[in-house]
Structure 1
C-alpha cells in the first residue's frame, strides 16, 4: 500500500509539473508582437478597451469592478500598473464583463452578471471624466429564466444592446438607462443541443445601422438590421464557422476582428456583411485565453483573461498582426 501511494504521489507530481513547465516555457518565450504588460490585483480580466482621448486602457474585473491602465509615452517595455476606478458594493458577487466606450457621450457602458448562479444581470454607465455612475439598469427580475449578460454595443442614438450568452437573446437599453425591449429570434438557437450551452456573445454596432453578433458554440455570425424591424440574418462566412468566437471589434466598416480561440481572426466583407470571409488568423499566448479585442492607433490588441504571478498578477494585452 505504501509503495502504491508513493507511485501515485510521483505520478500526481509529474502530472502537475508537465503543464506548469509548459506554461513557464511559454511565459519566458519572446513575444512575436508588441505586448502591454500590466500588474493587477486580480487573476481574471474579461475585457480591455482603448480610450484614446485619455491615453489609457480600461479593463473589467471578473471579481467585479473597473480599472484603468495609463500608458506612459516612451515607456519602453516597463510593466504598467492597473488603478481601480469603479468598485460597486451593491454589485458585490457579480462579474464585470463586456464594455463599450460611447465616445460622443463621454461614457462607458459595463455589463455585470452573476456568472455562477445566472440570476442577475445589469448594465451600468459611467462618466469617463469623473467615473460617476450615470445609471444602473437591472436586466433581470425575480422569476425570470436564467441568463448570463455578457457583452454590449451602443448605436448612434445611444441605445445599448446586451447579449445573453445563456438564453441567446439581446436586451435593448435606452440612452438614459430604461430597459426598452428584448430581441429574440429562432436563428439564435442552433438545432444541435450541445451548441446551446454558450450562445450569443460578442456584439458590435456597424455605422451603417446594424448589429453584428457571434454565437460562440455554433460559430454563427449574425447581422441584425435595426432599420428593418431588427431583421436577423446569418452571415455566410467563408472559412467559418467561427467556433469559440468571443469578443468582437470593427477594425474598419468592412473588417471585423474576432477574439477567442484561435486568439484572433480577421473577417472581411465586401457586400455590407451579407457574406464574409476569414482572411487571416493570429495565434497569441493560448494559455492566457484571448477574450476581447480593441483598436489602438490603427492596430489590433487582444485582451487576455488570465494573469500570471503572485502576489501581483501580470496581465497581457497583445498586438495581433494579421
Structure 2
C-alpha cells in the first residue's frame, strides 16, 4: 500500500512539473497565433492527424507497399499509422508501436529509411542528451524481428549524435553524425565499412557547428546528398570513393536550419526544417542547385522529416498538441510556393 501511495504522489509531482513546463512554453507563444497556424494548416493542405503515445516524434517515412506512415519516437521506438483505401487516416487513428527495442532503452529513435528490396527498416538510435552512444539497427518489415544492431559510437569516442540514414542500391547504409561532422558507412550485414570525413563538413564559427550533418538521401546516380543544419551547406558525396563536393546553391534562398530530406526525383529534393519545407532542384547532376519553392507550415510544431507519398511531399513534425485528453501529431502535405520552376 505504501508503495502505491508513493507512486501516486510521484505521478502527481511529475504531472505538475509537466503542466508548469507547458504553461511556460505556451505563455511565450501567443495562443491566438498558434490557433491561426493550426486552422490555416487544415484549411490549406491535406493533413493526416493521429493520436500519439508521446509528445515528440522525429522521422517519418511513407511505406507505399503496406500503405502506412512509419514514425520514430524521441522516447525510443517506432510506430505505424495505417492509411485507409480512401487515402485518409480513419478518423484520428492511434499510432501502433511496432518497434520497442529493450537493448536500446534510454535512447531516442531518430532517422529511419525503408530498404524495400531487403524487406527491412533501418533506424538510427542515439543518446540525444549526452551524445555518448549511437547505433544503427535493422528490423524485418514483416515480423519486426531485429536483423542487426551496430554500435557506431560509445562513451570513449567523443561527442557524436547519430542522426539520419540513407541506403544505397547494394543495401549499404549511411548515417550522419550531427555532432561529429562525419558519415558512417555500414554494410548490408551491419558491419562498419568506413567513416567519411571532410574539411568541408566543418565551418568557421562555433555556432555553425552546433548541429552539423543532418538530412541525407541516396541518389540513384551513385552519390549522397547531405545537408548541414546550421550553415545550410549541401554536399554531394560519392558512395564509392567517399569524395565530398560542396553543391553550390545558386539562388532561391538559404538551406539553413534544415533537417530531414526526401528525394522527389533525380532533379528534386524536398528539405524539412525550421521554416517547414523547401524544394531544391538541380539541372546539372547536383553540381549546382537552386531553392525553387518553399512551404510555410505550423512553425511551432517544427518540421523534422520529409517523405513522398503518391508523388506528393509530406512533412512530419516534432511537437504534438494536447486536445480532449489526447496527444495529437500531424503529417501534412507540403504545398510549395508558385515560384517553383521544375518541382512537382
What is the TM-score when the length of structure 2 is the normalising length?
0.86
Q: Tell me the SS of whatever aligns to 1:257.
A: strand
Asked if 1:68 is matched to 2:80, the reply is yes
Q: Compare 15-24 and 248-257 and name the one that shifted more.
A: 15-24
Q: List alignment gaps of at least 5 residues for structure 1.
A: 1-11
Asked if 1:46 is matched to 2:53, the reply is no
Deviation at 1:76, TM superposition (A): 7.2
Change in CA separation of 1:91 and 1:236 when aligned onto 2, cut-off 3 Å: same
Alpha-carbon separation, structure 2, partners of 1:92 and 1:37: 27
Q: Compare 181-190 and 191-200 and name the one that shifted more.
A: 191-200
Give 1:23's aligned residue: 34
Alpha-carbon separation, structure 2, partners of 1:18 and 1:153: 35
Q: Tell me the SS of whatever aligns to 1:27.
A: helix
Alpha-carbon separation, structure 2, partners of 1:307 and 1:141: 31
Give 2:260's aligned residue: 247
Give 2:342's aligned residue: none
* 8 Å contact kept, 1:162–1:171: yes
Asked if 1:98 is matched to 2:78, the reply is no
Deviation at 1:17, TM superposition (A): 7.5
Alpha-carbon separation, structure 2, partners of 1:252 and 1:21: 38
Q: Tell me the SS of whatever aligns to 2:231.
A: coil
Deviation at 1:238, TM superposition (A): 1.9
Alpha-carbon separation, structure 2, partners of 1:206 and 1:189: 23
Give 1:238's aligned residue: 250
Q: Compare 112-121 and 240-249 and name the one that shifted more.
A: 240-249
Determine which of 290, 297, 300 is the counterpart of 1:277.
290
* 8 Å contact kept, 1:150–1:163: yes
Alpha-carbon separation, structure 1, partners of 2:167 and 2:211: 22
Give 1:181's aligned residue: 194
Give 1:315's aligned residue: 329
Give 2:12's aligned residue: none
What is the TM-score when the length of structure 1 is the normalising length?
0.92
Alpha-carbon separation, structure 1, partners of 2:273 and 2:158: 27
Alpha-carbon separation, structure 1, partners of 2:56 and 2:154: 27
Q: List alignment gaps of at least 5 residues for structure 2.
A: 1-22, 337-344
Alpha-carbon separation, structure 2, partners of 1:17 and 1:156: 46
Give the 5 Å matches for 1:154-233. Answer: 154-227=167-240, 229-233=241-245
* 8 Å contact kept, 1:36–1:80: no
Give 2:279's aligned residue: 266
Q: Output one character per residue of 1:170-212: Cα deviation in whole Å (capped at 9) or x when no partner.
A: 1111100011111110000012222011100000000000000
Asked if 1:117 is matched to 2:149, the reply is no
Alpha-carbon separation, structure 2, partners of 1:178 and 1:69: 31
Give 2:18's aligned residue: none
Change in CA separation of 1:145 and 1:202 when aligned onto 2, cut-off 3 Å: same
Q: Tell me the SS of whatever aligns to 1:153.
A: strand
Change in CA separation of 1:76 and 1:127 when aligned onto 2, cut-off 3 Å: closer
Deviation at 1:251, TM superposition (A): 0.3
Q: Could you say what the CA RMSD is over the residues aligned between the two structures, in angstroms?
A: 1.7
Alpha-carbon separation, structure 1, partners of 2:34 and 2:177: 32
Determine which of 286, 297, 314 is the counterpart of 1:301.
314
Give 2:299's aligned residue: 286
Deviation at 1:50, TM superposition (A): 0.4
Q: Tell me the SS of whatever aligns to 2:204.
A: coil
Q: Compare 276-285 and 305-314 and name the one that shifted more.
A: 305-314
Q: Tell me the SS of whatever aligns to 1:272.
A: coil
Change in CA separation of 1:144 and 1:209 when aligned onto 2, cut-off 3 Å: same
* 8 Å contact kept, 1:235–1:273: yes
Give 2:94's aligned residue: 81
Alpha-carbon separation, structure 1, partners of 2:205 and 2:28: 37
Alpha-carbon separation, structure 2, partners of 1:76 and 1:178: 38
Deviation at 1:221, TM superposition (A): 0.1
